[in-house]
Amino acid sequence: MNTKMLVVTNRCLEDKNVNNESMLGEKTNKKGPAEVRLAWAEKKARNGI
């Protein structure tokens, strides 16, 4: 069973072509810290767990 989570962040996007947590940068986005972004994250279950 996969677990899904909605991520709310004010971080800039470093690389839109990446499909993991490294796409979020260390700095807030250029529009300021009040500008938030939403993203879905999914953790895939390991076999047997």
Q: What is the DSSP string of 1-49?
A: --EEEEEEE-EEES-TT--SGGGEEEEEPTT-TT--EEEEEEEPPPTT-
**Which residue, among 5, 11, 1, has the nearest Cα to 36 in the 3D structure?**
11
Q: Decide if 16 contacts 48 (C-beta within 8 A).
A: no
| pLDDT tens, residue order, the chain (49 aa) | 788 999 899 998 887 788 788 888 889 988 988 999 898 888 877 775 5
Q: Which residue type occupies 44?
A: K
The whole-number pLDDT of residue 48 equals: 59
Q: Decide if 18 contacts 45 (C-beta within 8 A).
A: no
The whole-number pLDDT of residue 45 equals: 75
pLDDT tens profile 24-35:
888 998 898 899
